[in-house]
């Protein structure tokens, strides 16, 4: 069974709205489809970020000063 779309009101900056309408026309897609795809991509990136943070949760924290010292020692700065 197909999922039903939910309706929501979104207020865009006028320039962004114009750009979305033009892109929708040029790509034969709706503004809703463009926005849904952009939000889906952003949520996927967030999921990747969360996974990366969780993966590194047990790493020891170091200070900024220590990081600069390491970079200098390794010849990176």
Residue 26 forms part of a structural domain: yes
Is residue 9 situated within a structural domain? no
Tell whether 6 is covered by a domain. no
Separation of alpha carbons 42 and 17, rounded Å: 19
User: Model-level pTM?
Assistant: 0.71
Q: Could you report the per-residue pLDDT of 31-49, keeping only the tens digit for each?
A: 999 999 999 999 999 999 9
User: Is 63 part of any domain?
Assistant: yes
pLDDT score of 3 more than 90: no
Q: What is the pLDDT of residue 4?
A: 87
Instruction: Give the domain range for residue 34.
Output: 14-73
Quote the number of domains for the chain: 1
Residue of 47, 49, 44, 19 whose CA lies nearest to 34: 19
Residue 69 domain-assigned (yes or no): yes
Q: CA 23 → CA 5, 14, 32, 36, 42, distances in Å?
A: 21, 14, 12, 14, 19
Position 31 in a domain = yes
What's the chain's average pLDDT? 95
What pLDDT digit, counting tens, does each position of 17-35 carry?
999 999 999 999 999 999 9
């Amino acid at each position: 069974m197909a999922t039903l779309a939910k309706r929501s009101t979104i207020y865009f900056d006028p320039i962004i709205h114009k750009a979305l309408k033009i892109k929708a026309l040029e790509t034969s897609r709706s503004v809703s489809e463009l926005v849904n795809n952009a939000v889906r991509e952003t949520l996927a990136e967030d999921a990747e970020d969360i996974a990366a943070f969780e993966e590194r949760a047990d790493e020891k924290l170091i200070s900024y000063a220590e990081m600069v010292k390491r970079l200098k020692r390794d010849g990176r700065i």
